[in-house]
Amino acid sequence: MRLTVLLLAGLLSGCAMVEGYFMATFDGNIYGSVAHIRTTAEIANDSDVCKDPAKMAPVANSLRDSSLELYNYSQYIKHNDDVINMSSHLVEMTKTLQAFYEKTKPSEAYCHSKLNGIINATSEMQRVIGKEPRY
CATH of domain 25-130: 1.20.120
The average pLDDT across 87-107 equals 96
Q: Note the pLDDT of residue 90.
A: 98
pLDDT band at 55 (very low <50, low <70, confident <90, very high): very high
- pTM (2 decimals)? 0.80
- Per-domain boundaries in the chain: 25-130
Q: Report the candidate in 84, 65, 77 with the shortest Cα–Cα distance to residue 125.
A: 84
